[in-house]
């Protein structure tokens, strides 16, 4: 069983109240940081911890913090990205709902490290009930002197505000989030300038995922080095994994990075295998925008080594036979699932969520969706499969923000690994309407 | 594909209730002076809480409250999919249709609700009680199939649960 | 000054200059096309992706190539940067991809479009497009609407460059149109029935790279290549009065601002010479204007004869 650094107390009755949270060691990191550490010390600990952004990109958090511009007399901001919208990902909601004070504690400690005096939590609008939980917790934190003027007598002031989105996946992209937070359409900004130089209202800003900010709490409490000891190589610490799809026990799990995928899917402490006694067909290990893996590449890499829950191991094999840890949205498909249907479904998602600002994404995602719709509904052609691959290549890398890549990769991977099934949809459209293709042959075993 | 959104008829700004106004002023006050536009999404949620949807007259009033041009409100309200720009039923059922929910039966859930309420996705029941919509991922993938109504999540749904849920909503809306 | 090399041409530019502007300073064939960037309208650019270029070396200090193609309109040059535009196969392929995307939902109604002959999308389609579409789906369509009594909006033709939004923001005192909805449903609209009524709103027509915004006083009156442009001047209290009048015989068919070879309104006496709606729409009598002389035909115009005929022979793709 993995150590739990974040959600150990998630099920303690009353843990959403300040008092109970404090009794279980809450706000210790604030005390430690504000009373015994300089902001630079905190940044240093986060750097030592090797923490990588938990929102999906996996960029080292300490490094991101050190890029923050600090011009004299200009306000800086920390913005928490709680716009969790990546299909397959629901860990941040779990964390905020169960442990609102953990996020607030992380926000205070992190804001102190960055010298931010006005910080924001931008939460997706659909999580309005979680926003209410956070609002209540923030009010408690103010009442108990953890927020506001002169926190714990340290001379450090911080105001923290939680504010909702309105239904837009794209606002999970940090510059779109900042636009939204300024009250505008969620159109991602051109970079440079990066938010670290010009962010919210033109001020230097750091945007971090909920889980990254929460992880700062154990890092400060136990030290960056201790945190770095957990995990393997450049995948340090623990990670929340959202498990969904055809599993016996889907849900949110905190794992130590380095756990084997085999153990995660089938282990008693985790998902306990595929639901209804079915077989595993495929898995998307890091949220809908990462490449899908066919069953023979899920628990083993192409080289035959055990696949582990780490940034490196899940990416082993590159786009040819690997995927990514991404946001930890672990989606499992059983043998009855139709890959074409699912690929179309995700393509529809990206077309729906494209902001429409740049042409490759606006036109390309919509085009892919329509071609996939035809393939799924029996009117596609073999040329359509080639066409999809070509549209893909023209979107990938050519868009303002990563949504283009996020839309392109899953389609490319699905065709790469399940071409037979796509072709079967063209060749036997009638049959494809009435039954599913089932498991594919494992070419590596043949 | 006809993509026309017919131009709406302009309407005079409408007044909101005292409670809504007080709450609007609170959320505007969360942002620094001069940055009141940042509160626009909060304010639009409050509008929808009061009216059930977001009308042109309401948006024109929001523009006054936030001291911005009406077009800036229209641009934002049409971008974010949570805002209903046409009247809806008392209970808007927003069913998640994205991948992880689809894997565990959201297609069947949508069909079942359509049959049960005798409406198609996008329609409202004749009595104005329910509107059925499909939405993209609501971040409850491990607990699907699911839907959201009035910011509340109804998870791991099956036919019985849907029946109970609809009855309870009907009762609450009638009382 | 810093040095940058674009398609083997070395240029010295001021720090902070974008790749596109550096290329424009050098001029000629190495200038990437731009459909959304407009140097006279701060904040535009980055959206259409037609100006994508390859950065083969980031700078002298860090000579690594940039992994992705970059938007030349919004990427500043670094000292020692090496950029490839015309000389990059990747740029050619991907720009072709962008043009294909811009055309999938475009009505291709050039034969009845007033912009034909001076349309940047037409130029791009000619240079990068293929003669056949691979788009089998139904195209997205909108009904044309009037926005104000002098401007027609054909949303079907729009490529969402956002330039007209920038004009409304920067030249007029209150903007009443903008971009509604999102993704492939995004559209330029006033949302409510509304007229754009402002002395400088006509400049939206001049900045529109395609035929989405057209001059109602000129619609269907003539093809642009039948008209002769003259530089002209008038005494105007609202604008500089420096314009181009487009004539057939002694009749003025339309009035536009003076535009440079990139289709941008020229800078005259340190000011961008936007023209007012009175000059544009109402002064159609030759007695309103002092003619200065014939206007040089810019590179975008089919009026410069023979440009396409010769190219066509070398392009078997188009003969099919």
Give the pLDDT confidence score for residue C302 in this predicted structure: 57
Residue C312 scores a pLDDT above 50: no
pTM for the model stands at: 0.95
Residue C303 banded pLDDT, cuts 50, 70, 90: low
| Rounded Cα distance, B46 and B62, in Å | 10
Q: How much is the pLDDT for C310? A: 46
Instruction: Report residue B175's pLDDT band, with 50, 70 and 90 as the boundaries.
Output: confident
Write the CA distances from A331 to A31, A289, B115, C289, integer angstroms: 39, 11, 29, 70
pLDDT value at C131 more than 70: yes
CA distance C102 to chain A (A): 6
Tens-place pLDDT, residues B32-47? 999 999 999 999 999 9
- pLDDT at residue C200, as a whole number: 93
Which residues of C fall within a CB distance of 8 Å from B56? 191-192
Q: Give the largest CA-CA distance in chain A.
A: 73
Question: Mean of the pLDDT values across residues A318-345?
Answer: 96
pLDDT confidence bin for A443, thresholds 50/70/90: low
* Cβ distance of B79 and C181 shorter than 8 Å: yes
Flag whether residue B73 sits within 8 Å of chain A, measured between CB atoms: no
pLDDT in tens, C14-28: 999 999 999 999 998
Three-state secondary structure string covering B114-155: HHHHCCCCCCECCCCCEEEEEECCCCCHHHCCCEEECCEEEC
Residue of C nearest to A397 (CA): C68
**pLDDT one-digit tens code per residue, B112-149:** 999 999 999 999 999 999 999 999 999 999 999 999 99
CB contact under 8 A, B71 and C185: no
In the predicted structure, residue C299 carries a pLDDT above the cut 80: no
Look-up: residue for tokens 């505008």? A184
Q: Please tell me the predicted confidence (pLDDT) of residue C314.
A: 47
Smallest Cα distance from A45 to chain B, Å: 31
Cα distance from C270 to chain A (closest Cα, Å)?
28
* pLDDT above 60 for A446: no
Asked if A357 is an interface residue toward chain C (Cβ–Cβ < 8 A), one would say: yes
Q: Cis bond leading into A193, ω under 30°?
A: yes
Chain C interface includes A342 (CB < 8 A): no
For residues C225 and C252, the model is more confident at C252
List, for residues A61-106, the tens digit of each pLDDT value: 999 999 999 999 999 999 999 999 999 999 999 999 999 999 999 9
Q: How far apart are CA A392 and CA A369, in angstroms?
A: 11
Q: Name the 3-class secondary structure at C76.
A: strand
Q: Is residue C8 over pLDDT 90?
A: yes
Higher-confidence position of C306 and C238: C238
Q: CB of C69 within 8 Å of any CB in chain A?
A: yes
Other C-beta atoms lying within 10 Å of the C-beta of residue A229: 13
| pLDDT exceeds cutoff 90 at C320 | no
Which alpha helices (H) appear in A80-209, and where do they start and end? 91-98, 100-114, 128-143, 174-181
Positive or negative CA dihedral for C261, C264, C265, C267? negative
Neighbours of chain B (3+ CB pairs under 8 A): A, C
A362-403 pLDDT per residue, tens: 999 999 999 999 999 999 999 999 999 999 999 999 999 999
Note whether A351 contacts C160, CB cutoff 8 Å.
no
Query: What pLDDT shows up at residue C300?
Result: 57
Rounded to an integer, what is the distance from CA B30 to the centroid of its chain? 23
Tokens standing for residue A370: 């329509």
Q: Which residue of A354, A365, A394 is in closest CB contact with C97?
A: A394
CA distance A308 to A300: 8
Q: What is the mean pLDDT of residues C239-258?
A: 94
> Mean of the pLDDT values across residues C226-245?
94
ipTM, interface predicted TM-score of the complex: 0.97
Helix (H) / strand (E) element for C307: namely: helix C307-313
Q: Which residues 6+ apart lie within 8 Å of A114 measured at CB?
A: A39, A43, A65, A68, A76, A78, A206
% of chain A at pLDDT higher than 70: 98
CB A219 within 8 A of CB A51: yes
Q: Would residue B123 be called left, alpha or beta, if left means φ above 0 and alpha means ψ between -120 and 50 degrees?
A: beta
Quick one: pLDDT band at residue A229, thresholds 50, 70, 90?
very high
Say which residues have a Cβ less than 8 Å from residue C250's Cβ, sequence separation at least 6: C286
Asked if A244 and B32 come within 8 Å (Cβ–Cβ), the reply is no
Half-sphere exposure of A149 (CA within 13 A, CB side): 0
């Amino acid at each position: 069983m993995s150590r739990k650094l974040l959600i150990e107390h998630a099920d303690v009755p009353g843990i959403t109240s300040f008092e109970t949270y404090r009794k279980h060691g809450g706000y210790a990191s604030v005390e430690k940081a504000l009373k015994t550490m300089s902001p630079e010390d905190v940044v240093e600990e986060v750097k030592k911890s090797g923490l990588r952004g938990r929102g999906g990109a996996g960029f080292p958090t300490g490094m991101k913090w050190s890029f923050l511009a600090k011009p004299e007399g200009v306000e800086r901001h920390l913005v928490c990205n709680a716009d969790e919208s990546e299909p397959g990902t629901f860990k941040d909601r779990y964390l905020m709902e169960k442990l609102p004070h953990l996020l607030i504690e992380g926000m205070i400690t992190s804001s102190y490290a960055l010298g931010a005096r006005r910080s924001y939590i931008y939460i997706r609008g659909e999580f309005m009930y979680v926003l209410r939980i956070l609002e209540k917790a923030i009010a408690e934190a103010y009442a108990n002197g953890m927020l506001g003027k002169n926190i714990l007598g340290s001379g450090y002031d911080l105001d923290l505000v939680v504010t909702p989105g309105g239904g837009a996946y794209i606002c999970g992209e940090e510059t779109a989030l900042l636009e939204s937070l300024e009250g505008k359409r969620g159109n991602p900004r051109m970079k440079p300038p990066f938010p670290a130089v010009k962010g919210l209202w033109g001020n230097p800003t750091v945007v971090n995922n909920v889980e990254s900010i929460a992880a700062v709490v154990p890092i400060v409490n136990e030290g960056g080095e201790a945190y770095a000891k957990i995990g393997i190589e450049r995948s340090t610490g623990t990670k929340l994994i959202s498990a969904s799809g055809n599993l016996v026990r889907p849900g949110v799990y905190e794992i130590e990075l380095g756990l084997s995928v085999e153990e995660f899917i089938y282990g008693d402490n985790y998902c306990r295998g595929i639901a209804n006694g079915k077989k595993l067909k495929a898995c998307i290990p890091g949220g809908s925008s990462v490449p899908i893996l066919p069953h023979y590449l899920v628990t083993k890499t192409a080289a035959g080594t055990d696949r582990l829950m780490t940034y490196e191991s899940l990416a082993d094999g590159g786009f040819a036979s690997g995927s990514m840890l991404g946001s930890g949205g672990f989606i499992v498909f059983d043998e009855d699932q139709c890959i074409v249907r699912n690929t179309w479904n995700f393509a529809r998602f990206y077309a729906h969520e494209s902001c429409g600002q740049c042409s490759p994404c606006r036109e390309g995602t919509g085009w892919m969706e329509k071609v996939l719709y035809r393939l799924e509904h029996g009117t596609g052609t073999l040329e359509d499969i080639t066409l999809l691959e070509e549209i893909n290549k023209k979107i990938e890398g050519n868009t303002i923000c990563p949504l283009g890549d996020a839309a392109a990769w899953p389609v490319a991977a699905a065709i790469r690994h399940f071409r037979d099934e796509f072709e079967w949809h063209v060749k036997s459209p009638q049959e494809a309407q009435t039954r599913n293709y089932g498991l594919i042959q494992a070419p590596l075993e043949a | 594909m006809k993509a026309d959104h017919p131009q709406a008829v302009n309407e005079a700004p409408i007044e909101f209730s005292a409670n809504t106004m007080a709450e609007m002023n609170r959320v505007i006050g969360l942002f620094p002076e001069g940055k009141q536009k940042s509160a626009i999404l909060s304010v639009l949620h409050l509008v929808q809480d009061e009216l059930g949807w977001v009308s042109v007259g309401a948006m024109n009033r929001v523009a006054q409250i936030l001291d911005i041009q009406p077009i800036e409100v229209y641009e934002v309200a049409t971008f974010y999919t949570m805002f209903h720009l046409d009247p809806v039923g008392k209970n808007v059922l927003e069913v998640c249709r994205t991948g992880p929910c689809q894997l565990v039966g959201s297609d069947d859930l949508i069909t079942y609700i359509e049959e049960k309420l005798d409406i198609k996705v996008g329609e409202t029941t004749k009595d104005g009680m329910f509107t059925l919509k499909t939405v993209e991922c609501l971040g409850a993938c491990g607990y699907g199939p699911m839907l959201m109504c009035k910011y509340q999540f109804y998870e791991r749904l099956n036919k019985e649960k849907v029946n109970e849920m609809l009855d309870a909503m009907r009762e609450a809306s009638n009382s | 000054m810093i040095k940058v090399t674009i398609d083997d041409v070395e240029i010295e530019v001021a720090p902070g200059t974008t790749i596109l502007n550096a290329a424009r300073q050098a001029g000629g064939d190495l200038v990437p096309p731009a459909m959304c960037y407009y140097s006279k309208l701060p904040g535009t650019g980055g959206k259409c992706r037609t100006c994508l270029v390859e950065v083969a070396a980031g700078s002298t200090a860090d000579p690594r190539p940039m992994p992705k193609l970059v938007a030349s309109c919004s990427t500043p040059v670094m000292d020692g940067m090496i950029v490839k535009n015309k000389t990059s196969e990747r740029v050619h392929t991907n720009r072709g991809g962008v043009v294909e995307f811009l055309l999938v939902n475009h009505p291709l109604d050039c034969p009845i479009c007033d912009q034909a002959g001076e349309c940047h999308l037409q130029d791009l389609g000619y240079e990068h497009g293929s003669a056949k579409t691979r788009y089998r789906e139904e195209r997205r369509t909108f009904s044309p609407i009037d926005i104000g009594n002098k401007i027609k909006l054909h949303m079907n033709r729009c490529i969402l460059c956002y330039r007209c939004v920038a004009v409304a923001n920067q030249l007029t005192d209150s903007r009443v149109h903008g971009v509604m909805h999102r993704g492939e449903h995004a559209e330029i609209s006033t949302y409510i029935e509304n007229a754009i009524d402002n002395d400088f709103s006509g400049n939206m027509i001049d900045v529109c790279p395609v035929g989405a915004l057209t001059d109602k006083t000129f619609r269907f009156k003539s093809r642009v290549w039948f008209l002769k442009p003259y530089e002209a001047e008038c005494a105007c209290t609202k604008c500089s009065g420096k314009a181009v009048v487009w004539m057939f015989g002694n009749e003025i068919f339309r009035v536009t601002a003076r535009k440079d070879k990139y289709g941008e309104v020229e800078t005259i006496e340190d000011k961008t010479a936007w023209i007012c709606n009175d000059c544009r729409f109402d002064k159609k009598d030759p007695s309103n204007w002092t003619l200065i002389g014939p206007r040089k035909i810019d590179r975008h115009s089919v009026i410069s004869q023979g440009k396409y005929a010769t190219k066509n022979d070398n392009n078997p793709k188009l003969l099919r």
